[in-house]
Structure 1
Amino acid sequence: MHPLKKLLRYASTYKTDLRLATLYSILNKFFDVLPEVLIGVAVDIVVNGEKSFLAKRVLGSFGMTETWHQLVFLGVVNAFIWMGESWFEYLLSLKWRKLAQNLQHDLRLDTYDHVQKLEMAYFENQRTGNLMSVLNEDINQMERFLNGGANQIIQVICSSVMVSAVFFVLQPSLAIISLLPVPVILFGAFWFQKRLAPRYAEVREAAGDVSARLNNNLLGLATIKAFATEDFEKKHIAEASNTYRQANARAIAVSAAITPVIRMAILAGFTATLVYGGWLTLHDELAVGAYSVLVYLTQRLLWPMTGLAEVADMYQRSMSAIDRAMNLLDTPINIHYEGAHLPQATVRGDLRFEQVSFAYGEQTTLAHINLHIPAGKTVAFVGSTGSGKSTLVKLLLRFYTPQSGHILLDGQATDMLKLQDLRRVIGYVAQDSFLTDGTIADNIAYGLENISEQAIADAARAAEAMEFIQKLPLGFATRIGERGQKLSGGQRQRLALARAILKNPPILILDEATSAIDNETEAAIQRSLEVVSRNRTTIVIAHRLSTVRQADCIHVLESGSIVESGTHEQLLQLHGAYAALWRLQTGEK
């Protein structure tokens, strides 16, 4: 489907505004064309006096045949026309701009909301910067088109129709000759447009690449500085920017040719009116006033068509941008959001994995997992990198869907539950938890409404975060910077834990939450866990075995399968994989 049709389908709720904006553009162009007609009438009055067309056909019945009266009447009509043109200019500008702002706002929100609902697998093949380019620059390009481009296209069409009608009324033979360039101009515009389409698609893709590269580098600035690779990364940015520049150059090479080609066609039409119309006037086959009207109207009709170059350029840029935004919005959501309601108060937290298998592409990560996690128990998963530990909790959170098997929560299949209800009963603390550029209090109460200061403080105290919070200049009101960059890794993890505690979920998951923190912070989080995990199903994924020693059950995963299960002491007595990991981490022989 053409991008414009996609946009019109999307903007169906704004049909009335779109129709009014179009009507205002048409009426504005109608009043805009009339002054040229008045020029011809004025010339006719001055030349023919009381025998003018206006005196004979319009004012004669009112006794206003004197030349002066005709000119006064013409002045009044002229004032009315200019006021009408100005009024509709104001209305069309107001309506188109408001429509552009509303559609920009709606499309950005709808697209962002749609992106949030896509399964995690979608983002494995996407770059954040490219998505940012669509959500920001592409949607802004659509707004720019609606702000001015749509009105220009409508008015070019209207002026062509209106001026052609006047031509055929006054002198049909001259009209045919003078308007012959119009089809050539329109054909040329469409011919260039077809060749611009793929070039501007390349431009938008290249712009997305630049945005992705910049976004990636800004997020990794500390690493770039640490490795002294500023010049290396500058070269990467230069390559991406140069690709964008070259894509633009290829588009410009075509778009720059539109205006000269259109000018040649305009020259032919204007010359025909000037010469042939003058010949007809000299031979009394065309009135002087009519000749004046046609000369002015030819200029009014054909000259604005030089703007077709700019309009075609803007149109094609916008269509490429709109196509990318609409394609993102049309990306199918392969995860089921609706299902049975799950009240948090009824959840016990009993979990079962029945023959669960999952693979990233062709790489098997979990193979026929059978597992029972009793309600209220603390269970840990350990194993080497890539053994499938984190994948288990991602399947539980339904970030991904298993290829086979089922996960049950209190006897109900999780894929049959309402997705948002399922996630609300799970507290999730990741290794690199997301923090907003807000205050300490904002981050602890993230996603929750009407939370008291006392509840926030209690959660911070339970996560053993009060000590460092009280040392901050504004305490809970201290802003922590983008992604919490003003805090240490351990402080960020304690805030993430406090957030999960405040949520008070029946199920708590810590996914490598202590792998990148110091021993003191690990001990603090361990003490917090001993408190918050009571009567709560707690899942801990860790590389550090010291973190999970007190778990009710520890499962060891290797190559997507559970190879050992038991308490810390029981696993040590097996002298298997867990015991080997323990000896490796403690330095025992």
Structure 2
Amino acid sequence: MSGSGPLRFALSHTGGERRRIAGAAFWRAVYELTPLQVPILTGMIVDGLTRGRATLYGVALPPSDPAAILRWAGLALAALAVLHGLSAYASAVTAARVGRGFVSRLRTVVFERLNRLSLDAHLHFGAGELLDRAVNDTAHTRPLVERFFIQSGAKVVRTGYPIAMLVFLDVRLALIALSVLPAQWGVSWLLHRRMHAAVRRTRESRSELTTTVKESLDGVETLKTLRASVDWTGGMRRKAQAVEADELRSGRLSALLRGSVWLTTSLGIALTWWQGGLRVLSGEMTVGTLVVFTGMVLFAYRPIRQLTNLASAYRRGLVSLERVQELLALPEAEAAAGEEQPLRLTEGRVEFREVSFSHGARRVLDRVSLIAPARQLTAIVGRSGAGKSAVLRLLAQLYEPEEGTILIDGQALARTTSASLREQLAVVPQHPVLFSGTVRENLTLANPRATQRELVNACASSAALDFIGRLAHGFETRLGRRGQSLSGGEAHRLAIARALLTHPKILLLDEPTSALDPESALALVETLLRLRSGGMTVIVVGHQLGTVRLADRIVVIDGGRVVASGCHESLILQSRVYSELFGHPGAADPPSGGNGRRSSLHV
């Protein structure tokens, strides 16, 4: 990707900062131009002290007392020092405001896009990669934005001014001094192209390392119990070594660029002193003018030397902008509303018509047709990998079907807005996620205005009220990261209570009793039956007979297809798959506790 694309992208996200950018650019120009006057005043002092007649910007001043020339030049240098310090402060402060404002706005855009990304995109990139782009890449754009939008104009003036002064003072000597610049620019251009590729490889390898470290921290218990910590650590070591190798490669290119620039600039300075000294000896130039000339030569070369120091930071910022662009270019799970209409849910009848869905190369559902009647409890059962959970995810619009139609009360979900669907539908996933914060904050995540009475009722319905009462601070107890201070069963009960607090008309549950003890599982089944009786449509993916047999309708899925449906008694006699799952002794026994061994019959 060319540099102009990311830079145009950055410009489009500067928002209403144009006036602030202009102010920062002005102070940066003052900061850059102020030191350029020092060689001119220095030459004035040298000629005043040696000849009693000074020159200023190539113009000979009237003869004057050396002390007077020294006094006025000294005052001018002091004024320049004050102006340089003031502009340095103003430039740094305004540039920081622009840079931090840009990063803050960019992160907001990235966070919003992350929330709208499809699940496929999240699974493809992984949490570590997305975290790296959202936090680290956005942070790396700040130096680039500050230098490009604020310093670019000042750098042009900063380069053009000394070159113009050199030509003004002595054209022939200026050509000699500037003869090294084409070689500098040529070498810099070639090496910058190679550095861009090297920096991008470094960012990608560092992102892979971040992902690996995050996964190791998230799965530390699994790694320890599997005795895989040593092998996993070896993998992290290899990735860290790959990052180091990429950084060394980038560092070598940066060092080569710096060395070539210093070589050519040193040759140019030597040529300037040699030819300028000859002019002084021949009387064609004063010592003061030579001092001014060599000072301007140094300033003319300085942008190239600074470029070598800024090259790595510039390339890092450019690569980070590209990576953020790639993230923002990913397709959203929810397209902008066009002809979509709000879902008007009256009964809660759910229907799948010839629905097919694939995950990668695997066909998960194949022309599935099923009905979940309104205000009834429907159970979906099947072997592991049959596609049961995919039905819930499609119904919640976490994925889009490849073929077929999903309807609620006769309205096709493809033509309704996701927001209106999720206002009336709640999902309790198989592995619920809790966030760091209090119990109350986790429960009211989707309904911040829930009253205390609603909290208590929802928790009582999900059999969570007893264990919340045993916590040190009840609803105000802070949970650890991902709710790690709770058992699996407790976390599941909180997730169910959280879903009930949204007052859904359709409730989807993926194996809700799998992490509950028998008493809590029975209480939850009674709650589901009570919710059904109250007019809610409940759809449960389950593998425990205690839950399934009480359903009004049972749908059996095998190999991605609906192979049977009906009630428990009829399916035991008519469906081979169902009888294999629930017809043997012990099928009705739920797990023996909140952390008991789970059945393998899950998706």
TM-score category, normalised to shorter length? over 0.9
Q: Is the 8 A contact 1:112 1:135 kept in 2?
A: yes
Counterpart in the other structure of 2:55: 53
Please say if 1:397 is aligned against 2:396: yes
Whole-angstrom distance in 2 between the partners of 1:56 and 1:421: 76
Partner of 2:584: 584
Query: Does 1:10 pair with 2:13?
Result: yes
SS in 2 for 1:431: coil
Q: Report the equivalent of 2:41.
A: 38
The alpha-carbon distance between structure 1 residues 36 and 288, as it changes in their structure 2 partners (threshold 3 A), is same
Aligned to 1:482: 481
Query: Following the alignment from structure 1 to structure 2, what is the Cα–Cα distance between the partners of residues 572 and 298?
Result: 94
* Counterpart contact for 1:149–1:311, Cα < 8 Å: no
- For 2:58 and 2:480, how far apart are their aligned partners in 1? 79
Q: 2-side partners of 1:266 and 1:156: how far apart?
A: 18
Query: Which residue number corresponds to residue 518 of structure 2?
Result: 519
- Give the percent of matched residue pairs that are identical in Structure 1 and Structure 2: 26
SS in 2 for 1:402: coil
**Displacement of 1:472 after TM fit?**
0.5
Assess if the C-alpha contact under 8 Å between 2:430 and 2:512 holds in 1: yes
The within-5 A match list for 1:115-194 is 115-146=114-145, 156-194=155-193
Q: Which moved more, 1:157-166 or 1:191-200?
A: 157-166
> Residue by residue, what CA displacement relative to the aligned partner does 1:169-226 show, whole Å, maximum 9, x if unpaired?
1111111111112222222222111111111111111011101111111111111121
1:487-509 residue CA offsets vs partner (Å, 9 max, x unmatched): 00110011001001111011100
SS of residue matched to 2:378? strand
Q: Which amino acid aligns with 1:508?
A: L
Q: For 2:246, give the aligned amino acid.
A: A
**More moved, 18-27 vs 427-436:** 18-27
Aligned residue runs from structure 1 range 186-585, under 5 A: 186-303=185-302, 305-333=304-332, 335-338=334-337, 340-342=340-342, 347-534=346-533, 535-574=535-574, 576-584=576-584
The whole-number CA distance in structure 1 between the counterparts of 2:58 and 2:562 is: 102
CA distance in 1, matches of 2:293, 2:61: 23
Amino acid aligned to 1:29: E
Separation in structure 1 between the aligned mates of residue 214 and residue 153 of structure 2, nearest angstrom: 39
Q: Residues 443 and 495 of structure 2 are in contact (CA less than 8 Å); yes or no, is this contact kept in structure 1?
A: yes
1:231-267 CA deviation, whole Å, 9 max, x = no partner? 1211111111111111112212211211111111011
SS at match of 2:399: coil
Distance in 2 separating the partners of 1:273 and 1:98 = 41
Report if aligned partners of 1:149, 1:314 keep a CA contact under 8 Å in 2: no
Aligned partners of 1:213, 1:301: CA distance in 2, in Å? 47
Secondary structure, aligned partner of 1:251? helix
SS of corresponding position for 2:124: coil
Contact 2:343-2:417 at 8 Å conserved across structures? no
Distance 2:67 2:110 in 1: 63
User: Does the C-alpha gap of structure 1 residues 337 and 388 become closer, same or farther in structure 2, counting only changes over 3 Å?
Assistant: farther
Contact kept, 8 Å, 1:96 with 1:146, in 2: the verdict is no
What secondary structure sits across from 2:352 in the alignment?
Answer: strand
Q: Does the C-alpha gap of structure 1 residues 235 and 518 become closer, same or farther in structure 2, counting only changes over 3 Å?
A: farther
Identify the residue that residue 77 of structure 2 maps to in structure 1.
Answer: 78
Query: Secondary structure of 1:359's partner?
Result: strand
Q: Which moved more, 1:9-18 or 1:401-410?
A: 9-18
The CA deviation at 1:19 is 3.3
| Unpaired runs of at least 5, structure 2 | 589-603
User: SS at 1:539's partner residue?
Assistant: strand
Mind listing any 5+ residue stretches in structure 1 that lack a counterpart? none
Matches of 2:59 and 2:251 in 1, distance apart? 53
- Work out whether residues 367 and 404 of structure 2, in 8 Å CA contact, stay in contact via their aligned partners in 1: yes
Indicate if the aligned counterparts of 1:351 and 1:407 stay in contact, CA closer than 8 A: yes
> CA 1:276–1:575 in structure 2 vs 1: closer, same or farther (change >3 Å)?
closer
Bigger drift between 159-168 and 486-495 goes to 159-168
Secondary structure of 2:17's aligned partner? helix
Offset of residue 448 of structure 1? 2.1
1:120, 1:399 within 8 Å by CA — same for their partners in 2? yes
> 1:565 is paired with a residue of what secondary structure?
strand
SS of 2:437's equivalent in the other structure is coil
Cα–Cα, structure 1 residues 19 and 97, in superposed 2: closer, same or farther, change >3 Å?
same
Q: Name which of structure 1's ranges 314-323 and 447-456 shifts more when overlaid on structure 2.
A: 447-456
Q: Which moved more, 1:402-411 or 1:19-28?
A: 19-28
Q: Does 1:92 align with 2:95?
A: no
Inter-CA distance 438–555: structure 2 relative to 1 (3 Å threshold): same
Equivalent residue, structure 1, for 2:599: none
Q: Which moved more, 1:437-446 or 1:560-569?
A: 560-569
Query: Which residue of structure 1 aligns with residue 592 of structure 2?
Result: none
CA distance in 2: counterparts of 1:109 and 1:512, whole angstroms: 35
- Distance in 2, matches of 1:355 and 1:286, equals 92
Contact 2:437-2:478 within 8 A present in 1 as well? yes
- TM-score, normalised to structure 2, is 0.91
Distance 1:333 1:230 in 2: 37
In structure 2, what residue type is equivalent to 1:421? S
Partner of 1:241, secondary structure, is: helix
Give TM-score scaled by structure 1 length. Answer: 0.93
CA RMSD, 1 decimal = 2.3
Of 225-234 and 15-24, the range deviating more from structure 2: 15-24
Kindly provide the amino acid, as one letter, of the partner of residue 264 in structure 1. L
Segment of structure 1 superposing worse, 566-575 or 458-467: 566-575
The structure-2 alpha-carbon separation of the partners of 1:322 and 1:226, relative to structure 1 and needing over 3 Å to count, comes to same
